[in-house]
Amino acid sequence: MTAELLVPHLDAAFNLARWLMGNDADAEDVVQEACVRAIAAMDRFRGGDPKAWLLTIVRNGCYSTFRQRRRRPATDLNEVTDHLESGGSSPERLALGGEQAQHVQAAVAALAPEFREVIVLREFEGLSYKEIAAIAEIPIGTVMSRLSRARAQLHEALATYQGTPS
Amino acid sequence: MTCDDVERLAGAYHDSELDAALSSDLESHVATCQGCAARLAALQALSVSLRAAPYYRAPAALTRSVTQRLAPPVLTRRPRLSIALPWLIAAVSVVVVAAMTLPLRFGRSGSDAVVNEVMASHLRSLQADHLVDVASSDRHTVKPWFAGRLDFSPTVVDLAADGFPLVGGRLDFVDGRSVAALVYRRRQHDINVLAWPATTPQESVAHRDDPRGYHLIHWTRDHMTWWVVSDLASVELNDFADRLMAATAKGS
């Protein structure tokens, strides 16, 4: 009745937290805490989508941690080395993709968090605009405009890496 | 549909978020407009490129931690010899001493003798006004009341928001020692939570039913033994136990 509902969504939860926090340890802390909160607040969850519900709590946990630390979350390319060096999670795709994967990762990591999260939820999790709007607690119109800007930024960044004119 | 419209709607079309009518209009336009066709192709190419990015799966340790800390009541027992061994040695020496002095003092925390005592404690508490020694719904009043009366400090949590208000606390005597009894309530049903320091290693959650219509839930974790007793329906009592477990988890 409790943790069972959440276990299938731990990968999605960790992925979102990892992309927002920029390192494994922080992502684990956020997801752990989010699970405790999710289970404690089971009452308020009545037959909705447990994945979206957990991801909302994870996202709030990430932003809450940012505020507590009073510093900008990982946006600059220095954080990329964290991504590349940290073990623990599965960077198989990174290894397989080689240089391309590194560039893509760097490009996504370079996005501001509010743009990064919509890209993660749309492109990596395949969630609908409605689901993303619920998780990020923004209107659907804002989801669309942030996606549009994020994609434009990514397109330009990746075109540069690939050496083709954007 | 104009090129400006396509600029606005291309993302939504790419994400299959446009309704049939708009999608059809957009496709008609794109069929005859190279610029807009390129725009859609670029979105497609970006999505393909993004597949090279890592997808970070939850580390096994995290999944284990979540399932074991917060799992539903039915668990298999985990034999952890590295933790059990010092306990075994301590338990053996304690038993030897106890056998010479207080033969009835220690029992395995889930044994039948303890179950009977927990039931008796619960039934006695329902009589007359034996329910609580300190009546308060405020855990900041109940917890300190135990200081000086017990050789440990019980964890008293507030579950009122979950529909289980605290009624108060009581001293009781179970398994050869003084224990904390915390009383919660759901509607007309009193729930006794008995807690005391564990003398056995971690135990998975166990359920027992008393034929008189009471349910008991028991677990040992973080060096504390917990018993939950009530005539509240099983499903609701399990819910209470889950919340209690989560709220009293170390570091929560």
Place of tokens 């061994």: B85
Half-sphere CA count of A91, side-chain side, radius 13 A: 20
pLDDT at A49: 83
pLDDT for the residue numbered B96: 53
Q: CA dist A65 to A68, A80, A83, A113, B66, Å?
A: 5, 20, 19, 13, 20
Among A166, A104, A26, A28, which residue's Cα sits nearest to residue B62?
A28
Min Cα separation A51/chain B (Å): 14
User: What is the pTM for the complete model shown?
Assistant: 0.54
Is residue B54 within 8 A of residue A93, CB to CB? The reply is yes
Q: Which of residues 88-107 of A touch B (CB under 8 A)?
A: 88-94, 97, 100-101, 104-105
Q: Is B72 exposed, middle or buried (0-12, 13-18, 19+ CB in 10 A)?
A: middle
pLDDT category of residue A92 using cuts at 50, 70 and 90: low
For chain A, positions 45-64, list CB contacts with chain B under 8 A: none
CA–CA distance, A11 with B55 (Å, rounded to integer) = 9
In this complex, do A10 and B62 lie within 8 Å of one another by their Cβ atoms? Answer: yes
Q: Render pLDDT for A20-72 as a digit per residue (tens, 0 to 9).
A: 999 999 999 999 999 988 888 877 777 678 898 999 999 999 999 988 886 55
What pLDDT is stored for residue A74 in this prediction? 55
> B175 CA to chain A: closest CA distance, Å?
31
Please determine, for residue A75, whether its predicted confidence score (pLDDT) is greater than 80. Answer: no
CA distance B13 to B31: 14
Mean pLDDT by 10 residues, chain B (252 residues): 94 94 94 95 94 91 82 46 53 51 41 87 86 92 91 92 93 91 92 91 82 88 92 89 89 56
* Nearest-CB residue to A10 (from B58, B242, B246): B58
- pLDDT recorded at residue A78: 45
Position A95 scores a pLDDT of 53
Strand, coil or helix: B85: helix
**What is the pLDDT at residue A76?**
46
pLDDT digits (tens, 9 = 90+) for A103-146: 899 999 999 999 999 999 999 999 999 999 999 999 999 999 99
> Are B216 and B229 a contacting pair, CB within 8 Å?
yes
Please tell me which of the candidates A40, A89, A93 has its beta carbon nearest to residue B246.
Answer: A40
Contacts of A94 in chain B (CB under 8 A): 53-54
Q: Do A7 and B239 lie within an 8 Å CB cutoff?
A: no
Rounded to whole angstroms, how far apart are CA atoms B11 and B110? 60
- The whole-number pLDDT of residue B175 equals 87
Residues A148, B11: C-beta atoms closer than 8 Å: yes
Contact B169, B132 (CB under 8 A): yes
Sign of the Cα torsion B213, B206, B201, B59 reads: negative
Minimal Cβ distance to B62: which of A2, A31, A93: A31
